[in-house]
Amino acid sequence: MSREFIAQHQRARIIGALALEVSEKGYRAVTVADIVRRAGIARNTFYENFSSKENCFLAAQQFAMSTALARVVEAAGESDEWPRQVEAGLGAFLGYVAEEPALARTCMVDALAAAPSSVRYYEESLQAFVSLFRLGRDVSPRGQELPETLEEALIGGVFWILYQRLLGAEPIQIGDLLPELVEFALSPYLGAEAARAVALEGEGGSPAPTSRA
């Protein structure tokens, strides 16, 4: 195994341990000792990879965000139509959140309470999703008139809903949540009826009506 391979996996392992510890204890209570114990590594190894708890936390955020974004882009790329791209992208995002609940909690709940740097990163990473939503302006009959801050608000709303669900102890119910979020995100561009049709289609429900009001 190459040095690089081991290093990458060590980082991932430490990040995984941090996520578990933070989601259980909250950021402030977690110590580097907690993390190294959970990861089953030596203290030295931690400091070879990260300079501090905060630094490790930021790395966890960056790892989670870049993974999530990659999955979203890949899923969206499987469709030509923007509404389906949004549906697929949101589905991929929710899937990742459901797959990695500790990491999701860490990045979306604890990040807000950790440090100014983590909040800043959280806010800025939301913006990465703005460009995906902005494409909707090209397919919307109201494209020109939509409020400038619409995408920012939609993403903020979607993330707030996920945050609320992550605060609860139960796992995310993608089946319930995805159609609601799709409808919310698409309505300003397509109107409520068309948005709902896309949301239901994604569920394998009734096909979209051929005539539009």
Partner 1 sequence: MSEPVNPSVDPREYPPELARLPPGRHGLPREFVAHNQRERLIAGLAEAVAENGYAGTTIAHITRHAAVSRRTFYEHFNSKDECFVAAYDTVMAQLRERVDKAFKAEEEWPQAARAGIAAMLEFLAAEPHLARLSMVEALVAGPVVIERYDAAIQDLVPYFEAGRKGRSAEVLAGLSPSTEEALVGGMVSLISRRIFADRTAELESLLPDLVEFALTPYLGSTAAAQVARQG
Could you list the residues that contact partner 1 (CB under 8 A)? 26, 28, 112-116, 119-120, 123, 126, 142, 145, 147-150, 152-161, 163-164, 167, 180-181, 183-184, 187-188, 192-193, 195-196
Evaluate whether 128 touches 65 at the Cβ level (below 8 Å).
Answer: yes
Q: Which of 30, 36, 47, 169 is nearest to 113 (CA)?
A: 30
The C-alpha atoms of residue 182 and residue 189 are separated, in whole angstroms, by 12
**Of residues 88 and 186, the one with the C-beta less far from partner 1:** 186
CB of 69 to partner 1, least distance (A): 18
Residue 4, judged by CB atoms within 10 A of its CB (0-12, 13-18, 19+), counts as: exposed
CB of 87 to partner 1, least distance (A): 15
Return the number of the residue (41 or 161) whose C-beta is nearest partner 1.
161
In the complex, what is the shortest distance from the CB of residue 17 to partner 1, in angstroms, rounded to a whole number?
A: 22
> Which has the closest alpha carbon to 129: 92, 165, 79, 78?
92
Which residue lies nearer to partner 1 by CB, 26 or 171? 26
